[in-house]
């Protein structure tokens, strides 16, 4: 939020500090350690690993030798490129950060505050449970009415691999799923093989709503090994949340598509009713860690601090 | 229960949308001839707002309206990130390239001058086809541009083709099929999924019955 007078501006800054401290306290209690990633990275290295990143939006600076460096466009890749070269076997770490990322926007540079957590090296199901629990804690701390939505990129990729699609077809299907346009999807899939997987694909958009219900429905439709692995991970999470009495606000959307291509398992998003952006987003990214020289189990999420603060401040809730 | 907010376009599309809602027993409060811009259906807990055609997408994308009915042409122009839940079966037309009879759309080395209201859609389309163009942005009576020599071709919506014919033009190439659709805000939909899905189910049932 922007203010024209200093009094409001300082008041807002004070609230931001309080919010940051509150969430920090919550994650420290759960055993997360603070980590400060570097601000500057090498441009060539970054785009070689993050091939799908929007190069125009990256903020470039030139170093003394005339090489191009960048101000970090995201935290996760920065963190992995720092930590993974030093990785030791059987390490289990839980870290959190509160940092800014930088992006070109219009003619200016935008600074975006992010707070996030990452679990590295911890067994899949354990870390999944740990992370959804924490995400739920943060959301429920500030609102009775919120939605914590889960999806699975493994389930989705497992289903799509049945069709042996060309790259552009693959992306078109993802686009249609993301728009939730079932009619266009059916029209586009006309030429696809009409097997059991086909039925599952054209009905995928309907698999959304209460998490338990959706998972039960999905179990009854077509399934291969990869899909089953993805669904099972979701099921374990939902079961765990139910046993802890925390499942009321959890929904599932099996056609959830992430704009980041690198997720490889559970994806999660948190919403508030009156906010027009996700408050929480994240997921599992084991295969992404391979780009940094080591495949380890990895999952994390970030909290959009500016959005969260704005939505609390506007209602005088902080 | 919260009110569901619905954005409708003023004009013909809005009238058709209101008719559609009335047929599934929603929005009896809608009076398209009055000058009022907001109508409330207390029974179904729905608030309708009447907006300029090109603003419907903006209201839905920013979450002021949960859902809206808008032509695909507007959606393609704005590139808004909204859910596109349902394609409606009325108001079908095409976005076309039109020009004087026999005019060339693809010129090897020359830059094609294109007059249109739909500058983004036209730009994307010709870029994909590898034809260099110059956009001449117009706001109405686009058909005049090739006749008076302002442009080589036009990109415009064509329903019957009568307007083109009356001005001595013809369709040179079909670009996209255009129909109105129900769009939803990405967050609002998550919170009102059942209410929205029920409305769409009813519309689907109605359309099936009408065809049968």
Which tens digit of pLDDT belongs to each residue from B33-80?
A: 888 999 999 999 999 999 998 899 999 999 999 999 999 999 999 989
* Whether B186 and B150 share a structural domain: no
- State the DSSP string of A59-85: EEEE-TTS-EEEE-S-HHHHHHHHHGG
By 3-state DSSP, what share of chain B in percent is helix, strand and coil, each rounded to 5? 35, 30, 35
**Average pLDDT, stretch B116-134?**
93
**Coil, helix or strand at residue B14:** helix
Q: What is the mean pLDDT of chain B?
A: 93
d(CA B172, CA A211): 50
A146 at the B interface (CB within 8 A)? no
Q: Which residues of B touch A209 (CB under 8 A)?
A: 193-194
* Whether B145 and B114 share a structural domain: yes
Contact B187 A180 (CB under 8 A): no
**Average pLDDT, stretch B90-113?**
89
Q: Provide the domain limits for residue B109.
A: 93-178
Contact A276 B87 (CB under 8 A): no
Residue B1 pLDDT > 70: no
Contact B87 A184 (CB under 8 A): yes
- The answer to whether residues A128 and A236 touch, using CB atoms and an 8 Å cutoff, is yes
Contact A183 B191 (CB under 8 A): no
> Based on the structure, what is the number of domains in chain B?
2
Q: Which residues of A touch B63 (CB under 8 A)?
A: 276
**Coil, helix or strand at residue B24:** coil
Contact A183 B87 (CB under 8 A): yes
In this structure, the number of other CB atoms found within 10 A of the CB of residue B123 comes to: 15
Long-range contacts of B206-209 (CB under 8 A, 24+ apart): B206/B20, B206/B23, B206/B24, B207/B88, B207/B89
* Whether B12 and B43 share a structural domain: yes
- pTM for this structure? 0.91
**Biggest CA pair distance of chain B:** 62
Q: Which residues of A touch B191 (CB under 8 A)?
A: 145, 147, 271, 273
* Whether B26 and B45 share a structural domain: yes
**Coil, helix or strand at residue A10:** helix
A147 at the B interface (CB within 8 A)? yes
A271 vs B2, B83, B187: nearest CB = B187
* Whether B138 and B76 share a structural domain: no
Contact B83 A273 (CB under 8 A): no
* Whether B149 and B53 share a structural domain: no
* Whether B135 and B166 share a structural domain: yes
Question: Which residue in B has a C-alpha nearest to residue A271's C-alpha?
Answer: B187
The burial class, CB within 10 Å (0-12 / 13-18 / 19+), for B127 is exposed
- The answer to whether residues A128 and A238 touch, using CB atoms and an 8 Å cutoff, is no
Helices (H), B28-101: 56-61, 72-78
* Whether B192 and B153 share a structural domain: no
Q: Which residues of B touch A208 (CB under 8 A)?
A: 193
Q: Which residues of chain A have pLDDT under 70?
A: none
Residue B212 pLDDT > 70: no
Residue B117 sits in a domain whose CATH number is 3.40.190.10
B151-192 pLDDT tens trace: 999 999 998 999 999 999 999 999 999 999 999 999 999 999
CB contacts < 8 A, A to B, total: 39
- The answer to whether residues A189 and A198 touch, using CB atoms and an 8 Å cutoff, is yes
* Whether B73 and B98 share a structural domain: no
In this structure, the number of other CB atoms found within 10 A of the CB of residue A18 comes to: 12
| Domains, chain A, ordered by start | 121-284 (3.30.930.10)
Contact B190 A271 (CB under 8 A): yes
* Whether B103 and B167 share a structural domain: yes
DSSP assignment letter at B11: S
Among residues A179, A277, A177, A173, which one has the least CA distance to residue B72? A179
* Whether B72 and B60 share a structural domain: yes
State the DSSP H helix or E strand holding residue B49, giving kind and residue range, or none if neither. Answer: strand B46-51
* Whether B164 and B194 share a structural domain: no
Q: Which residues of A touch B179 (CB under 8 A)?
A: none
Q: Give how far Cα B18 sits from Cα of A206, A310, B22, Å.
A: 26, 36, 6
Taking an 8 Å Cβ-Cβ cutoff, which residues of chain B contact chain A?
2, 62-63, 82-87, 181, 184-185, 187, 189-191, 193-194
């Amino acid at each position: 939020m922007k203010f024209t007078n200093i009094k409001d501006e300082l008041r807002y800054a004070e609230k931001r500090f309080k919010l940051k401290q509150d969430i920090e306290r919550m994650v420290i209690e759960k055993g997360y350690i603070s980590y400060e990633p570097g601000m500057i990275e090498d441009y060539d290295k970054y785009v070689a690993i993050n091939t799908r990143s929007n190069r125009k939006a990256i903020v470039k600076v030139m170093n003394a030798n005339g090489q191009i460096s960048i101000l970090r466009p995201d935290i996760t890749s920065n963190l992995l490129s720092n930590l993974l070269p030093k990785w030791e076997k059987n390490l289990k770490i839980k870290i959190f950060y509160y940092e800014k990322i930088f992006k070109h926007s219009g003619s200016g540079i935008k600074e975006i505050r992010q707070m996030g957590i990452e679990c590295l090296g911890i067994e899949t199901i354990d870390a999944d449970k740990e992370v959804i629990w924490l995400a739920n804690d943060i959301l429920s701390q500030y609102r009775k009415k919120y939605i914590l939505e889960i999806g699975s990129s493994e389930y989705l990729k497992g289903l799509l691999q049945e069709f042996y699609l060309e790259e552009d077809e693959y992306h078109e299907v993802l686009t249609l799923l993301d728009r939730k346009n079932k009619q266009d999807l059916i029209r586009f899939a006309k030429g696809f093989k009409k097997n059991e997987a086909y039925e599952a694909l054209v009905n995928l958009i309907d698999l959304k709503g209460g998490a338990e219900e959706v998972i039960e429905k999905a179990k009854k439709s077509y399934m291969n090994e990869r899909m089953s692995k993805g669904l099972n991970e979701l099921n374990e999470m939902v079961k765990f949340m139910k046993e802890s009495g925390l499942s009321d606000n959890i929904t599932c959307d099996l056609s959830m598509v992430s704009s980041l291509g690198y997720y490889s398992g559970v994806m999660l998003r948190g919403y508030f009713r009156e906010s027009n952006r996700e408050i929480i987003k994240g997921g599992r990214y084991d295969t992404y860690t391979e780009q940094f020289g080591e495949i380890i189990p990895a999952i994390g999420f970030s909290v959009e601090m500016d959005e969260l603060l704005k939505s609390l401040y506007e209602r005088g809730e902080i | 229960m919260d009110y569901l907010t619905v954005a409708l376009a003023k004009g013909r599309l809005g009238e058709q949308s209101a008719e559609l809602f009335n047929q599934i027993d929603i929005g009896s409060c809608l009076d398209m001839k009055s000058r009022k811009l907001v109508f409330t259906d207390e029974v179904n807990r729905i608030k309708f707002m009447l907006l300029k055609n090109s603003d419907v997408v903006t209201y839905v994308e920013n979450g002021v309206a949960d859902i809206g009915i808008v032509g695909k042409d507007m959606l393609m122009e704005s590139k808004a990130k909204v859910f596109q839940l349902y394609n409606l079966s009325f108001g079908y037309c095409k976005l076309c390239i039109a020009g004087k009879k026999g005019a060339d759309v693809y010129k090897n080395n020359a830059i094609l001058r294109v007059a249109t209201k739909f500058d983004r859609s036209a730009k994307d389309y010709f870029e994909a086809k590898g034809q260099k163009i110059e956009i001449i942005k117009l706001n109405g009576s686009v058909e005049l541009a090739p006749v008076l020599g302002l442009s080589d071709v036009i990109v415009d919506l064509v329903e019957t083709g009568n307007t083109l014919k009356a001005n001595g033009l013809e369709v040179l190439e079909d670009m996209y099929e255009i129909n109105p659709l129900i769009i939803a805000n990405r967050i609002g939909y998550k919170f009102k999924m059942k209410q929205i899905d029920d409305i769409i189910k009813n519309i689907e049932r109605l359309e099936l019955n009408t065809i049968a």
